Structure 1
Amino acid sequence: MSAFRLLLLPFSLIYGLVVKLRNNFYNKGIFHSHEFDIPVIAVGNLEVGGAGKTPMIEYLIRLLSPEKKIATISRGYGRKTKGMIIADENSSAQEIGDEPMQFNTKFPEVTVVASENRVKAINTVKDDQQVILLDDAFQHRKVKAGFTILLLDYNRVGERSFLLPAGNMRESKAGMKRADVIVVTKAPKIFSPLDQRVVEAKIRPYFDKEIFYSYIHYGELQLLNKNSDVQQFTLSDITRKTEIILLTGIAKTKPLTDFLEVKTKNITHLKYLDHHKFTAKDVQKLADVYNSVSAAHGGQKVIITTEKDAMRLMAPELETEVLQLPIHYIPIKAEICDRFKEDFDNKILNYVG
């Protein structure tokens, strides 16, 4: 921990006391939680950012949308607007936020809502929907979800961390008990029973219900602007001689860099803060770096970004600059590990009915 964060520890103690009192007031009914006569599934985590909430919401959409009408409700972090907005084909990340924009782009059959007021949003759309999915809502206790999924990062389970602002924890591990299930995200696709016991030994002091595991599946590269004359690049085109310029504005980049480094070690990483709003200056810097990189003999060079960052790069004011660059994004999916998938899917389907 840095010296600066150590100085913030007294504020973390105050923050922790406030969070504990707030949770106690909700638990005792002093603060009111709203319940609804429609299935509501909340997805969230204990830490700030990076546990895989967006891929988990998308997993639930893929599981449920063949049979159910679904609405997703997100706060729309980083958007320029306020209030409730129901997305349409003209929406942008600047208007609704990058996560809702991603849902809106990939799942046009889903009603996507950005709203700070989840209660108002549910009341607005529930009559036309069969399931509500709440994104990043574990601490949003004004809504009493019928089913709550808590996400924990496989690589961080058991790590010692402090509450905000000294650390990244939104609340203590005691909050785990409010979840209906825990999904340990970013796990290896295949892992041993011993690995499972090691992970669960760190969770069981706080949680006595079912624990599931998911892994990240990276999809094929997609050209950001399909109207450009840029040649499509694929993952199979990447060799040890390929130069990758990686552009990210997400919380945790290690899984992606680990995935790409298996293919090539030649990665120049332009790393911005989570939810960074890209500007024309940023895109110009990206172009300068791309033009300055020389691929090894027989190699090629390509710009890769994340699916979430792609939503912000598609801003109308960046279109001219982006059109001229070979920017590709890499889609990801959360997949439940094989030996847990049937039980997890059935648990969700049985709740939804």
Structure 2
Amino acid sequence: MPTLLTYVLLPFAWLYAGIMAMRNWLYDRGWKPTTRFGTVPVLSVGNLRVGGTGKTPHVAWLVQELRQQGQQPAILSRGYGRRTNGFRLGSATETAVTLGDEPWQQFTHFGGQVPVAVCENRLTGLHELLRQQPGITVVVLDDAYQHRRVQPDFSVLLTEQQRLFYHDYVLPAGRLRESRAGAARADVVVVTKCDPALPVLEQQQITQRIRRYSRPHVPVFFSTYAYGVPVPLAAGELLEQEFSAEIVLLTGIAQPGPLREYLREAGYQIVYHAEFADHHAFTAEEIAALKTHYEPGRRIFTTQKDAARLLDPSLHTEMAGLAVFYIPIAVEFLADGANRLRQLLPAAIQPQAVV
């Protein structure tokens, strides 16, 4: 429900929405340049809302599907939160600090078998990525829904079940980066982080509301998270060792609520939750403070994205000897959503004529 502050900030939201609408209009009319890459199709994954909607695991799902269909995909991201500039291509010498936590997570997730690059300028990044990796057959742009200089061949819009874009307002009254009308650019909408038992009737109602803003008959899918077995951050740390159900939780993500709920339902007792902002760069002092809640028999649980930042060399001394585990997550679609989306990909990655 809107708060009093929401209504106070609405005039500023209207101003910001107007600026974004003018920007989009200029791109739509061709007055601002946009580029389509003819022989290498580009898929875009993003959202209308600021904050985590599950882009990283959905990008991973798409990349895995593309690989299974015989493609050689690559991932291009802005590399938010990194301490470097310009184009960088993932390699064993990179870290979350130089590449960004999410790109580094993708690079390690695929074992270096999928090229992962970062660049603030996506157009420059695409050109350089294709120059250095000529065997690429498709590029997935991570968090690029508002990046209009590159015209994707297929655009995936994500929106959380608990924070559906049609209930939200444009910044600063809400969390939308642009107006709800931006959904009209999507080729597919995925409602993420859903209750696995979300009733079909409620799915239909959500779909109807989304289609007030999207193009007619755009497919709407529903996905949820599947949490995996805790993975030790340090080699040699075995789950078979004696640990209690008491855990310390460490997160630096936008929406830690679903993970916290999962851990409680799985029987863990969260004795302390050190909660930081999304992409937070952990410090040795913060790890030292966390250790005051750690004792033998307890484990520190974190996310896979946060784990990438915990491997920073500046934290090695404080992290030594701690039983730290990350919880991997994977995307699962409700009903036949996975097969339906899978069937759309061959047409989506057909080479298009350059406009």
Say whether the fold is shared (TM-score over 0.5).
yes
Tell me the equivalent position of 2:108: 105
Residue 162 of structure 1 pairs with residue 169 of structure 2: yes
Partner SS for 2:306 = helix
> In structure 1, how many angstroms separate the alpha carbons of the residues matched to 2:192 and 2:82?
26
Compute the displacement of 1:160 (Å): 2.9
Residue 195 of structure 1 pairs with residue 199 of structure 2: no
Partner SS for 2:167 = coil
Amino acid at match of 1:266: Q
> In structure 2, how many angstroms separate the alpha carbons of the residues matched to 1:334 and 1:313?
24
Q: Is the 8 A contact 1:34 1:143 kept in 2?
A: yes
- After TM superposition, the score normalised by the length of structure 1 is 0.91
Tell me the equivalent position of 2:234: 225
Compute the displacement of 1:6 (Å): 5.9
> In structure 1, how many angstroms separate the alpha carbons of the residues matched to 2:221 and 2:23?
29
Picking from 91, 95, 98, the partner of 1:92 is 95
- After TM superposition, the score normalised by the length of structure 2 is 0.90
Tell me the equivalent position of 1:83: 86
Tell me the equivalent position of 1:177: 184
> In structure 2, how many angstroms separate the alpha carbons of the residues matched to 1:6 and 1:124?
45
> In structure 2, how many angstroms separate the alpha carbons of the residues matched to 1:167 and 1:323?
41
**Higher mean C-alpha deviation, range 92-101 or range 320-329:** 320-329
Tell me the equivalent position of 1:322: 319
**Higher mean C-alpha deviation, range 305-314 or range 340-349:** 340-349
Tell me the equivalent position of 1:297: none
- Residue-by-residue CA offset, 1:96-136 (whole Å, 9 max, x unaligned): 10010001111111111110111111112223310100000
> In structure 1, how many angstroms separate the alpha carbons of the residues matched to 2:221 and 2:346?
15
Amino acid at match of 2:72: K
Q: Is the 8 A contact 2:190 2:221 kept in 1?
A: yes
Partner SS for 1:200 = helix
The 5 Å alignment of 1:1-353 reads: 8-37=9-38, 38-66=40-68, 67-107=70-110, 108-126=112-130, 127-157=134-164, 160-207=167-214, 208=216, 209-226=218-235, 230-232=237-239, 242-264=245-267, 266-267=269-270, 268-291=272-295, 300-353=297-350
Query: Mind listing any 5+ residue stretches in structure 2 that lack a counterpart?
Result: 351-355
**Higher mean C-alpha deviation, range 274-283 or range 4-13:** 4-13
- Residue-by-residue CA offset, 1:312-338 (whole Å, 9 max, x unaligned): 111011122212211100011112224
CA 1:39–1:13 in structure 2 vs 1: closer, same or farther (change >3 Å)?
Answer: same
Q: Is the 8 A contact 1:73 1:114 kept in 2?
A: yes
Q: Is the 8 A contact 1:157 1:202 kept in 2?
A: no
> In structure 2, how many angstroms separate the alpha carbons of the residues matched to 1:337 and 1:12?
34
Percent of aligned pairs with the same amino acid: 37
Query: Mind listing any 5+ residue stretches in structure 1 that lack a counterpart?
Result: 295-299
Amino acid at match of 1:40: V
Amino acid at match of 1:215: T
**Higher mean C-alpha deviation, range 309-318 or range 218-227:** 218-227
Q: Is the 8 A contact 1:231 1:326 kept in 2?
A: no
- Residue-by-residue CA offset, 1:169-198 (whole Å, 9 max, x unaligned): 101111101000101111233433212122
Measured on the aligned residues, the alpha-carbon RMSD in Å equals: 2.0
**Higher mean C-alpha deviation, range 111-120 or range 151-160:** 151-160
